[in-house]
Amino acid sequence: MPAVANFDPNSKLDLPRNVADYPPNVWGDFFLQYASESMEPDQSNAAEIDSLKNEVRNMLATNNEKPFDKVKFIDSICRLGVGYHFEHEIDQVLQLIHKTYVVNGEIILEDNLHSLAVLFRVLRQRGLYVSPDVFKKFKDGQGIFSKRLIADVEGMLSLYEASHMMIHGEEILEEALAFTSTHLKSISTQLSPFLAAQVKHSLTQSLRKNLSRLEARRYISVYEQDAFHNVVLLRLAKLDFNMLQSLHQKEFGNICKWSKELGITKKLPYARDRIVECCFWSMSVYFEPQYSQARKMMSKVIAHLSFIDDTYDSYGTIDELELFTKAVERWDISCLDDLPNYMKLLYKSLLNVYEEIKEETIKEGREYTLSYFVKDFKTIVQAYMTEARWLDKNHVPTIEEYMPISKITSGYPVLSTTSFVGMGSIATEDIFNWVTNMPKIVNGAALVCRLNDEIVSNEFEQQRGHVSSFLECYMIQYDTNREAAIQECEKGIDNAWKDINEDCLRQTKVPLPLLTSVINLARFIEVYYKDKDHYTHSEGLMKTHIKALIVDPVPV
């Protein structure tokens, strides 16, 4: 975009700038209509929601159901997006089922493949270990999954979803995934349109890797078509979805208003203007009402990371970037004088966001979170600088040099930490120590982000000058082709998910909601960096999803 290349009055006209031709923002001022001082969600159905919640709670508490029915009911509650109302009750039921029917990891109940696979997945999703050996009985004399299973579409689909909970060394789940994927794909043309649509959806987006709001929006209509659906639960899911949507609309509106008043996207025209998508990113990390404030902070942090990423990747010259890096290392408003005009704006706005976060954490008596946030922020900016120096020197790093830096610049270590800042007292100082030392789950999320991003954005980025990607480094280092490098990326992503799953099962000290935030960061990538980079190219899938979750209510 040469038109903006020299907009900065401080810059010398002959400076070569590496500007990307990013598509424009697709929302304009649309969300401003929702901006509101009051953050009360729509209360028109509040009384009915409360009464429905009580009914569901009572259903969860009754003991006259078979364990499998209970687990399936819990699975429906969670897939419909209302599990967050019953965390305590769900935990109690699942702990009891695990204690009673799982001995030394082995499920001692008997049932069909569908029931066992749902039980396996639901328990593992809660961090409760169950051995995959329960699926051995579905193999034939030759030790492979029996061909008879192919006719059992429901069972195959459940086994497919269960297999995504795999950790390292679980051969049987690898086989289950390969078997179910192959056969579900091949029989899908023979199924009813309704079932074929379920199969197609699962094959593209497994439950483990899907965002829970998207699943809720979709599953509400699937569940409705199930002749045996629970009417109370379905009504609760619909009303609750719309009630939450009204809160999310206000949040999006307020952040868009903040962004417009700040005017930064107008003043940094080289950067992607994606404020709505930033709100959506943070809403994907946590959607519950109690995290409204956390979402606000997180959206602003993501927006700044996006501006900074574009500054390092695209507009900034190497000398300017060195100045900005030093300023971030010092984290002090007095550094403003050292920066060119356009960077002053960015730096000042970053420190303002920090001040806002500081005010909130002081209110909560959780100032200890701040130093961890700042440390991680400095680390990512230093890593952006390393990449900028590599590009400046035309240095192609080895994979061993590239990976530690590019995991940091994925943004996921600092965003994991940022997500915890707003999560209240469950995120103790011990937990901040843990999360900022690259535990397996954060390392896994960073790899999922980095490697998926490499596969989808490589060509677009290489059209302009961009630091060498994993694909190039790998091809050069191992003297191989693009396909082999992509395969290596895909292997890395599969392993990263095993690490994520493993860390969730082994955790004793980190509460599930915190782990879920990190998993949700990885899930966002699985949805929006799948076939292409939908954050940068936000007019297709991303826009459709934002519309479905934030704009259009569920018909009731």
Ligand X SMILES: CC(C)=CCC/C(C)=C/COP(=O)(O)OP(=O)(O)O
Handedness of CA 336, 339, 344, 346 (dihedral sign): negative
Choose which of 68, 86, 286, 535 interacts with ligand X (CB under 6 A).
Answer: 535
Q: Which of residues 40-59 bind ligand X (CB under 6 A)?
A: none
**Which residues, in sequence order, are CB contacts of 28 under 8 Å at separation 6+?**
none
**Which residues, in sequence order, are CB contacts of 520 under 8 Å at separation 6+?**
211, 212, 284, 285, 286
Give the phi and the psi of residue 390 in degrees, each rounded to 5: -60, -45
Tell me the closest approach of the beta carbon of residue 305 to ligand X, in angstroms.
4
Any contact of residue 75 with ligand X (CB under 6 A)?
A: no
Any contact of residue 243 with ligand X (CB under 6 A)?
A: no
Task: Using alpha carbons, list the distances in angstroms from residue 185 to 179, 190, 222, 255.
Answer: 10, 10, 20, 42
Tell me the closest approach of the beta carbon of residue 520 to ligand X, in angstroms.
12
Count of positions on this chain that bind ligand X (CB under 6 A): 12
Choose which of 97, 117, 415, 475 interacts with ligand X (CB under 6 A).
Answer: 415
Could you tell me if 346 and 262 are in contact, meaning their C-beta atoms sit under 8 angstroms apart? no
Any contact of residue 125 with ligand X (CB under 6 A)?
A: no
Any contact of residue 122 with ligand X (CB under 6 A)?
A: no
Choose which of 309, 356, 360, 494 interacts with ligand X (CB under 6 A).
Answer: 309
Structure tokens belonging to residue 179: 């078997």
- Stretch of 36-44, 85-93, 229-237, 408-416 contacting ligand X, by CB under 6 A: 408-416
Tell me the closest approach of the beta carbon of residue 302 to ligand X, in angstroms.
5
Tell me the closest approach of the beta carbon of residue 449 to ligand X, in angstroms.
7
Any contact of residue 472 with ligand X (CB under 6 A)?
A: no
Task: Report helix, strand or coil for 145.
Answer: strand
Any contact of residue 533 with ligand X (CB under 6 A)?
A: yes
Choose which of 56, 93, 122, 305 interacts with ligand X (CB under 6 A).
Answer: 305
CA distance 307 to 273: 9
- Stretch of 3-11, 117-125, 218-226, 300-308 contacting ligand X, by CB under 6 A: 300-308
Burial class (CB in 10 A: 0-12, 13-18, 19+), 528: buried
Tell me the closest approach of the beta carbon of residue 442 to ligand X, in angstroms.
13
Any contact of residue 273 with ligand X (CB under 6 A)?
A: no
Tell me the closest approach of the beta carbon of residue 386 to ligand X, in angstroms.
12
Q: Which one, 49 or 445, has the nearer CB to ligand X?
A: 445
Choose which of 41, 411, 422, 444 interacts with ligand X (CB under 6 A).
Answer: 411
DSSP 104: T
Q: Which one, 65 or 401, has the nearer CB to ligand X?
A: 401
Give the phi and the psi of residue 398 in degrees, each rounded to 5: -75, 165
Choose which of 163, 212, 369, 457 interacts with ligand X (CB under 6 A).
Answer: 457
CA distance 72 to 154: 13
Q: What angle do CA 35, 518, 364 make, to 5 degrees?
A: 60
Any contact of residue 409 with ligand X (CB under 6 A)?
A: yes
Output Rg (C-alpha) for the chain, integer angstroms. Answer: 24
Any contact of residue 302 with ligand X (CB under 6 A)?
A: yes
Q: Which one, 81 or 411, has the nearer CB to ligand X?
A: 411
Task: Report helix, strand or coil for 139.
Answer: strand
Residue with smallest beta-carbon separation from ligand X:
411
One-letter amino acid at 1 equals M
Choose which of 125, 306, 417, 520 interacts with ligand X (CB under 6 A).
Answer: 306
Nearest Cα to 236, choosing from 49, 83, 55, 81?
49
Any contact of residue 313 with ligand X (CB under 6 A)?
A: yes
Any contact of residue 453 with ligand X (CB under 6 A)?
A: yes
CA distance 360 to 354: 10
Q: Which one, 305 or 345, has the nearer CB to ligand X?
A: 305
Q: Which one, 233 or 271, has the nearer CB to ligand X?
A: 271
Task: Using alpha carbons, list the distances in angstroms from residue 191 to 187, 194, 222, 458.
Answer: 7, 8, 16, 38
As a residue count, the chain comes to 556
**Which residues, in sequence order, are CB contacts of 516 under 8 Å at separation 6+?**
286
Structure tokens belonging to residue 35: 């901006």
Tell me the closest approach of the beta carbon of residue 415 to ligand X, in angstroms.
6
Q: Which residues of the chain form contacts with ligand X (CB under 6 A)?
A: 302, 305-306, 309, 313, 409, 411, 415, 453, 457, 533, 535
